[in-house]
Amino acid sequence: MTSITLSDLGWSAHFRAQLDDAPEDLARISGVERTRLEALSPDGPVSLSLPGGQSTGDYAVGDWVRYDPETGRCLRRFERQTLLHRRAAGTGAVDQLIAANVDTLGIVTSCNADFKEARLERYLALAAQAGCLPLVIITKADTVDDPGAYRRRAESLSPLVVAIDIDATDPLEIRRLNAWAADGRTLALLGSSGVGKTTISNALTGRGEATQGIREDDAKGRHTTTSRALWRTTAGGWLIDTPGMRALRLTDAAEGIDTVFADLTDLAGQCRFSDCTHGNEPGCAIQAEIDAGRLDPGRLRRWEKLLREDARNSETLAEARARDRSLQKVYRQGQAIGKQKRGL
Ligand SMILES: Nc1nc2c(ncn2[C@@H]2O[C@H](COP(=O)(O)OP(=O)(O)OP(=O)(O)O)[C@@H](O)[C@H]2O)c(=O)[nH]1
Ligand SMILES: [Zn+2]
């Protein structure tokens, strides 16, 4: 990686505005390891350590940081423009950061049974919540007679949606994605297994599967696979590919859902009762639209389902936090009793 500039790396006015002095010793995180951060700077790749007490879990691939070139220590993180995160798997309430400063979230689906309005709306809400632009990429256009029909279905979901249909196995068609992955812009791909994410990333970055993970020996001599997650595209932008991207689900996304379903939230505001359930109450503006044939009843069902899903996931997060707090309380009480017993 020779003579790369800050703007090649995606540096923008948003980050510049957070600096009082010259933009020096800046880097963009390309990999988050257990104890270190890997980053790319105009001077080449750097491996950074963190000040004591800080966890690499507070950093995401795509983050901008300032570092001390003498010590290789990370000094500060810049406020993010966008952030994709999720609740970590398992029972803990850990908020796991997936990727930061992604400009466009490429929502990948195919011209087949994978294409589902509900799935697209879920991903669109995720993009809206994170602050990323959504781009719906509909692959396998070469396998159907009328791929445009899928594109129109996607675009009908929200005025925010830009959708394109492609044959992802055709390098010429992949070039149509360059606009979102050029000039320091950052793209991340989300979608079910088999829709063509790997095919697209390989084509955009010019890399093969074999180069995905770098095997390294850790301190105990074991092999660990450190995976780089920020890849330069041949068009001069960036592709973020982290394992976490593959299992993103909705939590704390009420605002994102509101954005994607703005038509329904607007209508709901016109219902006679403020707590209208949009069932069979009189004066329901949503039912009136459905009766008039102007609104697909399926869209109402999908909206309600997504709201329930988000509430359920967000609730467990809040509950788990409460549980953590009460455990701490028990622990502190235990300590106090112990002290009493020891006569302290
Ligand atoms: N005909 C056709 N085949 C495609 C297209 N896109 C992907 N494929 C094929 O579909 C299969 C799955 O593609 P992948 O790129 O591995 O899908 P993925 O989304 O990375 O899947 P996971 O790694 O499981 O998440 C491969 O055999 C691709 O060659 C397309 O636009 N047209
Ligand atoms: Zn109503």
Q: Spell out the domain ranges in the chain.
A: 13-77, 83-247, 254-338
Cα separation values, 252 from 38, 46, 131, 255, Å: 29, 34, 13, 8
Sign of CA dihedral 101, 102, 104, 105: negative
Distance 260 CA to ligand 2 centre (A): 18
Q: Give the pLDDT score at 135.
A: 97
14 is in an annotated binding site: no
The ligand placed nearest to the CA atom of residue 174 is 1
Q: Could you tell me which of 157, 102, 89 has the C-alpha nearest to residue 129?
A: 102
- The structure's pTM equals 0.83
**Taking the domain 83-247, which CATH number applies?**
3.40.50.300
CB 124 within 8 A of CB 157: yes
Q: In this structure, are residues 120 and 107 in contact, taking their beta carbons and an 8 Å threshold?
A: yes
Q: How far is CA 269 from CA 265, 274, 303, in A?
A: 6, 7, 15
Atom 1, ligand 1: which residue's CA is nearest?
140
pLDDT of residue 210: 44
Query: What's the rounded Cα separation, in Å, for the pair 207 and 52?
Result: 36
Q: Which ligand is nearest to the CA of 284?
A: 2
Ligand 1 centroid from CA 130, angstroms: 26
Which atom of ligand 1 approaches the CA of 199 most closely? 15
| The CATH number of domain 13-77 is 2.40.50.140 | yes
Q: How far apart are CA 94 and CA 85, in angstroms?
A: 10
Any atom of ligand 1 within 6 Å of the Cβ of 197: yes
Is beta strand 186-190 parallel, antiparallel or unpaired with respect to 230-232? unpaired
User: Is 202 a pocket residue for ligand 1 (Cβ < 6 Å)?
Assistant: no
Q: Taking the CB of residue 67, how many other CB atoms lie within 10 A of it?
A: 20
- ipTM of model: 0.95
Name 186's bridge partners.
Answer: 238
Residue numbers of the chain with a pLDDT score lower than 70: 1-2, 88-93, 209-227, 246-247, 315-318, 320-321, 323-344
- What is the CATH topology of the domain spanning 254-338? Ribonucleotide Reductase Protein R1; domain 1 (1.10.40)
